[in-house]
Amino acid sequence: MTAKLDASASAGSAEGRDRRPGPATTRRAGAIRHLLPLLTLVVVLVAVSGALILVSLDFLSATRAYVAGESHWSRAQQNVVFRLDRYAEQGNPADLAEAREQLAVPLAAREARRLLAEGFIDAGRTRDAFVRAGNSPDDVPKMIRLHRHLAGMPEVQRALALWQDGDAWVERLDRLADELEAYRQSPADSNGSIDASIRDELALIDRSLARDTLAFAGAMSEAGTAIERAARGFTLAALIVIGALLLLATLRAIREFRRSETRFWTTFEQAPVGMALIDSHTVLCEINESLAELLQRRPGELSGQPLSHFSHAEDRGALRKFIIDRSQRGGPGAELESRYLRPDGSVVWAKLSLAPLDPASGASGELQVAVLEDISEPHRLAGELAYQAAHDQLTGLPNRREFERSLNQLLHRANRARGSHALCLVDLDQFKVVNDSFGHLAGDALLVRLSEQMQACLRDGDLLARLDGDEFGILLKHCSKDTAIEVIERLRSVISDFSFRWEEQAITISASIGLVPLDERYQDAPTLLQRANIACHEAKDQGRNRVQVHSDERDSSRRRHEEMEWVHRINQALGQDRLRFHGQLIQPMSQGRYRCELLLRLKADDGVMHTASRFMEAAERFHTARTVDRWVVEHALAAIRLQSARLPEISSWHINLSGQSVDCDTMLPEIIQRIRDHGVPPERLCFEVTETAAMHSLEEARAFFSELRALGCQIALDDFGKGLSTFDYLKQLPVDLVKIDGGFVRELAHSELDHAMVRSIHEIARIAGLETVAESVESVEVLLRLRRIGIDYLQGHIVHTPCRLIDLDLPRETPQPPA
Partner 1 sequence: MAAARSSYRFERLPLGRPWCNALRLETGRKLLLRPIRPDDAERLRIAFRELTPEEVRFRFFHPIRELSPELARSLSALDPEWAFALVVTEFLPPEDARIGGVGRVAIDPDERNAEFAVTVGGELQGFGLGRYLLQRLIEWCRKKRLDSIYGRIMSDNDGMLHIVRTLGFTIRPDMDGPGVVIAHRDLRPRIASEDAA
DSSP 348: E
For residues 358 to 397, the per-residue mask of contacts with partner 1, x marking binding by CB under 8 A and - elsewhere, is: ----------------------------------------
Query: Nearer Cβ to partner 1, position 164 or 666?
Result: 164
**Amino acid sitting at position 357:** L
Spell 737-776 as b/e; 16+ CB within 10 A means b: bbbbbbebbbbbbeeeebbebbbebbeebeeeebbbbbbb
Contact 734, 709 (CB under 8 A): yes
Residue 164 or 542 with smaller CB distance to partner 1 = 164
By beta-carbon proximity to partner 1, the closer residue of 207 and 412 is 207
User: Which residues touch 352 (CB under 8 Å, ≥6 apart)?
Assistant: 307, 319, 322, 323, 335, 336, 337, 338, 370, 371, 372, 373
Q: How far is the CB of 70 from partner 1 (least distance, A)?
A: 18
- Count the neighbouring beta carbons within 10 Å of the beta carbon of residue 353: 19
- Choice between 209 and 278, CB closer to partner 1: 209
Q: Whole-number minimum distance, CB 172 to partner 1, in Å?
A: 5
Q: How far apart are CA 497 and CA 389, in angstroms?
A: 32
Which one, 196 or 254, has the nearer CB to partner 1? 196
Write the single-letter amino acid at 477. K
Q: How many whole angstroms separate alpha carbon 790 and alpha carbon 589? A: 8
Map residues 108-147 to x or -, x wherever contact with partner 1 holds by CB under 8 A. Answer: ----------------------------------------
Question: What strand order describes the sheet that includes 284-287?
Answer: 284-287, 274-278, 368-374, 347-356, 335-341
Q: Which of the stretches 165-173, 487-495, 502-510, 597-605 binds partner 1 when contact is defined by CB under 8 A?
A: 165-173
Instruction: Supply the minimum distance, in Å, between the C-beta of residue 190 and partner 1.
Output: 11
Residue 169 or 622 with smaller CB distance to partner 1: 169
Q: How far is the CB of 211 from partner 1 (least distance, A)?
A: 13
Whole-angstrom CA distances from 628 to 408, 531, 616, 668 are 32, 24, 9, 15
Q: Closest distance between partner 1 and the C-beta of residue 179, in Å?
A: 7
According to DSSP, the residues that pair with 587 across neighbouring strands are 794
Beta carbon of residue 204, minimum distance to partner 1 (angstroms, whole number): 5
**In the complex, minimum distance from the CB of residue 80 to partner 1, in angstroms, rounded to a whole number:** 15
Residue type, 666: T
How many chain residues are in contact with partner 1, going by CB under 8 A? 20
| b/e code 788-804 from CB counts within 10 Å (16+ = b) | ebebbbbbbebbbebee
Using DSSP, state whether 644 is helix, strand or coil: helix
**Nearest to partner 1 of 182, 251 (CB atom):** 182
Shortest Cβ distance from residue 208 to partner 1 (Å)?
8
CB of 64 to partner 1, least distance (A): 27
* Closer residue to partner 1 in complex, CB, 176/476: 176
Q: What is the dihedral of CA 309, 315, 318, 324, to 10 degrees?
A: -20
Least distance from partner 1 to the Cβ atom of residue 246, Å: 54
Strand-pair category, 284-287 with 274-278: antiparallel
Give every strand in the sheet of 547-549, ordered side by side.
463-468, 471-476, 421-428, 511-518, 547-549
Main-chain phi, psi angles of 610, to 5 degrees: -100, 140
The nearest distance, CB 126 to partner 1, in angstroms, is: 20
- Nearer to partner 1 by Cβ, of 194 and 390: the residue is 194
Return the residue of 5, 24, 57, 167 that touches partner 1, per CB under 8 A: 167
Give 180 or 717: the residue with its C-beta nearer to partner 1.
180
Least distance from C-beta 168 to partner 1, angstroms? Answer: 3
Name the residue among 463, 453, 718, 755 with its Cα closest to residue 612: 718
**Max intra-chain CA distance, the chain:** 192
Rounded least distance, CB 197 to partner 1, Å: 4
CA distance 172 to 163: 15
Q: Where are the alpha helices (DSSP H) in 652-727?
A: 667-678, 691-695, 698-711
- Give min distance, CB of 160 to partner 1, in A: 14
Contacts of 549 (CB under 8 A, 6+ apart): 481, 485, 515, 516, 517, 535
Is the CB of 74 or the CB of 338 nearer to partner 1? 74
CB-nearer residue toward partner 1: 162 or 536: 162
Closer to partner 1 by Cβ: residue 159 or 348: 159
Please choose, out of 168-176, 263-271, 646-654, 670-678, the segment that lies near partner 1 by the rule CB under 8 A.
168-176
Nearer to partner 1 (CB atom), residue 196 or residue 324? 196
Stretch that binds partner 1, among 163-171, 408-416, 453-461, 549-557 (CB under 8 A): 163-171
Q: How many Cβ atoms are within 10 Å of 64's Cβ, its own excluded?
A: 16
Is 289 a binding residue for partner 1 by CB under 8 A? The answer is no
Rounded to whole angstroms, what are the CA distances from 403 to 410, 474, 515, 647? 10, 8, 15, 55
Binding to partner 1 (CB under 8 A): which residues in 169-208? 169, 171-172, 175, 179, 182, 189, 191, 193-194, 197-198, 200-201, 204-205, 208
Q: Are 105 and 76 in contact (CB under 8 A)?
A: yes
CA gap 451, 519 in Å, rounded: 27
Residues in the chain: 819
In the bound complex, what is the minimum distance in angstroms from residue 108's beta carbon to partner 1? 18
Residues 205-264 that bind partner 1 (CB under 8 A): 205, 208
Nearer to partner 1 among residue 214 and residue 367 (C-beta): 214
String of contacts with partner 1 for each residue 623-642, x by CB under 8 A: --------------------
Cβ distance to partner 1 smaller for residue 80 or 758: 80
E strand residue ranges, 429-533:
463-468, 471-476, 499-502, 505-508, 511-518
Mask for 587-626, x = binds partner 1 (CB under 8 A)? ----------------------------------------
Yes or no: say if 665 and 699 are a contact pair by the CB < 8 Å rule.
no
Among 36, 39, 43, 168, binds partner 1 (CB under 8 A): 168
Smallest gap from residue 123 Cβ to partner 1 (A): 25
Residues that bind partner 1 (CB under 8 A): 165, 167-169, 171-172, 175, 179, 182, 189, 191, 193-194, 197-198, 200-201, 204-205, 208
